[in-house]
Chains A and B, each alone.
Chain A
C-alpha cells in the first residue's frame, strides 16, 4: 500500500508557466488537502475537498486551483506561476470530511517547487 504519492518530487519552473502538482491516495479517504510549507511559517491550507466532486478554499487559495474528479486524485494547478509560490507543497488525506469528524490527516512526501 503506497498511501499518498505526489509528483513531481521537485521542480524548477519559469515565472508565468502553468504547472500541475499531482496527488494520489489509495486509502479511499473522503477528504483531501493541499498545504504549502514555508520556512518560519506553519503549514497553510490552500484548498481542500471533503468528498469527490466538491472543493473548498483554504487560507491561501489565490493563484491556485484544484479539482476532485474521483476519490483518489486531487491535482493542484498553478495557472501562471510567480516567485512567491516557491515553497514545499504537501498533499494530505483523512478518512472524515470536515464537520463529520476529526480524523488524522496523513501526508504525502511533498513537492519542492522553485519559481524563477
Chain B
C-alpha cells in the first residue's frame, strides 16, 4: 500500500527553527509537495522537490532524499502566522497525489 507519515503535532517558539519530517512509501515517485493549511482554509502550495537535495525559498526550505523515502520542511525565524498544518504529498506513478495527514505546528511566543 501507499503511505505517507508525518508527526501529528509539533510545538516551537517564535523566532526559532523547526523541522517537519515526512517519510513515504508509494507506487512510483514523480515529486514531493509541501502545502500549508491554516485552520478553516484551503491548502496553499509551499514547495516541490523531484531531485535529491535542498530547495530554499525565503524562510522555508525543503529537502528530499529519494533513496531514503524522506523529506523535511525547514522553517526559520518562526512567526506567529506560521501556526498552521503542513501537508506532505507525493505524486505517484499515476500522477495522483498521495497525502499525509498533516502536521499541526503550534508557535508559542
Contacts and interface: CB of A to CB of B under 8 A. Distances in A.
Contacts of B61: none
Nearest to B101: A42
Interface residues of A, number: 21
A107 B44 contact: yes
A106 B97 CA distance: 13
A43 B1 CA distance: 16
Contact of A108 (B30, B42, B100): B42
B73 interface: no
Contact of B97 (A41, A101, A105): A105
B100 A42 contact: yes
Contacts of B41: 109-110
Interface of B: 4, 30-31, 33, 41-45, 48, 50, 87, 89, 91, 94-102
A109 B87 contact: no
A90 B42 contact: yes
Contact of A102 (B91, B101, B102): B91
27 contacts: A40-B101, A41-B101, A42-B4, A42-B98, A42-B101, A43-B43, A43-B89, A43-B99, A44-B99, A45-B96, A45-B97, A90-B42, A99-B94, A99-B95, A100-B95, A102-B48, A102-B50, A102-B95, A104-B33, A104-B45, A104-B48, A106-B45, A107-B43, A107-B44, A109-B41, A109-B42, A110-B41
A98 B99 contact: no
Contacts of B45: 104-106
Contacts of A100: 95
